[in-house]
Structure 1
Amino acid sequence: MSEMLTIRAVTREDYQRWLPLWDGYNAFYGRSGATALAPDVTAITWSRFFDAYEPVHALVAESDGELLGLAHYLFHRTTTTIAPLCYLNDLFTADAARGKGVGRALIEAVYDAARRAGSPRVYWQTHETNAVAQALYDKVAERSGFIVYRKAL
């Protein structure tokens, strides 16, 4: 990266540069080919970033006019705090930008957004096999010890 890294809110004009990152993120988690997200899911996800009534937000990392990473986060109420918690829903860095501080910068930007919103905590999950990401996460957060259960309906 020859220019300084900039973390900023996504804009409508970013769609064509955001989409390959989004596709890469989904492919990383096995959502491609026959198991790809339906196009309407991507369309609705994108539209939520620009809807003031949605608690969903998107950041991108940019250098030299190229988008190198994305972070999507949302705020939600909980029964254990008055202020909403911040859930880092998606985090992805382009292959060529890995190990260069892009992921950390995106996480720090989400922390800043959560602080500004008065949120007492940011949390996220990753797959147990994602050891590379966990090496970073162990430096910027603490493991909660919780195990995630889910059931498709």
Structure 2
Amino acid sequence: MALQIRAATAADFPAWCELWAGYNAFYGRHGDTALPEAQVRLTWQRLLGLLDEAEPMQLLLAERDGQVLGLAHCIYHRNTLLPHYACYLQDLFTAPQARGQGVARALIAAVEDAARARGCPSVYWHTHQDNATARRLYDQLASATGFIVYRAML
């Protein structure tokens, strides 16, 4: 069966949780450093727009044969450089058993379509410099900007 990209529904919570845990573990957030359950539930509620109908976050899922294989979280926000909203692809994850099957590529294309439909002129994202597998795909789909991300913890 073909890969389907779709918006999540409330029934997708268990499958999303499994993917979300895998994504966070990939970046070292597991065990003692795992996100608190309250944050996981808050993120889910935001992604589904349950707390605010104008929520700028969006969740797309990749599914094949009834199995959810990937997720994409994006955030629409104002931009100081353009009159249009920008689309930030914050999180992208493919289940390990589905890697190399076009899931991430399809999710990125669906995010681009959703952003285009909202009038966004581009989609941007970042990844860790050591994520060579993802970077091979990203280099085919977009241009690296050369910017380095800094974070000050408050």
TM-score normalised according to structure 1 size: 0.97
Secondary structure in structure 1 of the residue aligned to 2:147: coil
> Aligned residue for 2:132?
131
**Displacement, 1:19?**
0.8
**Displacement, 1:50?**
2.3
> Aligned residue for 2:78?
77
Q: Deviations over 1:120-144 (max 9, x none)?
A: 1100000011000000000011101
Mapping of residues 1-153 of structure 1, within 5 Å: 3-51=1-49, 52-153=53-154
Q: Give unpaired runs (5+ residues) of structure 2.
A: none
Letter in 2 for 1:45: T
Distance, in Å, in 2 between the alignment partners of 1:127 and 1:144 is 14
Hey, which bits of structure 1, 4+ residues long, moved more than 3 A? none
Secondary structure in structure 2 of the residue aligned to 1:134: helix
TM-score normalised according to structure 2 size: 0.96
Secondary structure in structure 2 of the residue aligned to 1:25: helix
Q: Give unpaired runs (5+ residues) of structure 1.
A: none
Task: Tell me if structure 1 keeps the 8 A contact 2:48–2:59.
Answer: no
Distance, in Å, in 1 between the alignment partners of 2:65 and 2:48 is 25
Distance, in Å, in 2 between the alignment partners of 1:148 and 1:50 is 27
**Displacement, 1:57?**
0.3
Distance, in Å, in 1 between the alignment partners of 2:35 and 2:47 is 18
Letter in 2 for 1:124: W
Aligned residues: 151
CA RMSD of aligned residues (A): 0.6
Q: Deviations over 1:36-94 (max 9, x none)?
A: 10111110100012222210000000001000000000100011111110000100000
Letter in 2 for 1:13: A
Identity %: 55
